[in-house]
Amino acid sequence: SQTIHQWPATLVQPVGSPLSLECTVEGTSNPNLYWYRQAAGRGLQLLFYSVGIGQISSEVPQNLSASRPQDRQFILSSKKLLLSDSGFYLCAWSEYRAYEQYFGPGTRLTVT
Amino acid sequence: RKEVEQDPGPFNVPEGATVAFNCTYSNSASQSFFWYRQDCRKEPKLLMSVYSSGNEDGRFTAQLNRASQYISLLIRDSKLSDSATYLCVVNTNAGKSTFGDGTTLTVKP
């Protein structure tokens, strides 16, 4: 069966510090991968999605970036965090050309 | 106007009640539709897909009305464990999904 991992579960970082969140999927090949952010009490905002290694589409211009160095690995990064980057970051996967998405446990980021 | 709109609620219902949520979408080219459930401070989990013919899974029934561009979720015989936020999701292609902000349900004893 498929499993999706995210780490860390929680993170407190000062403004201006870098960020690296990692997501890995097991039990499937060539998945679509997604990064979402959810602000407190709000819906999910799609940040990036990827249909293959090195193929990243950005949905929202901001100080975040994403990379997919391996088929089942998706990384979200920032060089300098802003207060507005605080939120619940969720990684998700779907089968290639499928619509159903499955989420990892998320990383709760607080920028202070 | 948002691409996907939901009544945020909260819906407060007693155990055993029937409750329905609606979700409207603006893009007539939307192709697939889902309901997700999200518990407090947890990740969303796929609840069910929504088809034009309607589909049922136990106490849950989902319907799609393409002409009016809305989807619905009906929960019968509500349980305390149904308390959560319900998110509707609309897809226009396999690479992008748009989530509603969610409807919060609280089922009380």
Say whether A84 sits in a helix, a strand or coil: helix
Segment (H or E) for A42: none
| Residue numbers of chain B with a pLDDT score lower than 50 | none
User: What's the pLDDT at A24?
Assistant: 97
The C-alpha of A11 sits at a distance from chain B's nearest C-alpha, in angstroms, of: 14
A36 contacts in B (CB within 8 Å)?
Answer: 99
Buried b (16+ CB within 10 A) or exposed e, B38-66: beeeebbeebbbbeeeeeeeeebbbbbee
User: What's the pLDDT at B93?
Assistant: 67
**In chain A, at which residue ranges do the beta strands (DSSP E only) sit?**
3-7, 10-13, 19-26, 32-38, 44-52, 55-58, 64-70, 73-78, 87-94, 102-103, 107-111
Tens-digit pLDDT profile for residues A81-93: 999 999 999 999 9
Count of CB contacts below 8 A, A vs B? Answer: 51
- Tell if the CB–CB gap between A57 and B95 is shorter than 8 Å: yes
Which tokens hold the place of A52?
A: 């293959």
The residue among B42, B43, B55, B64 with the most chain A CBs within 10 A of its CB, best to mutate, is: B43
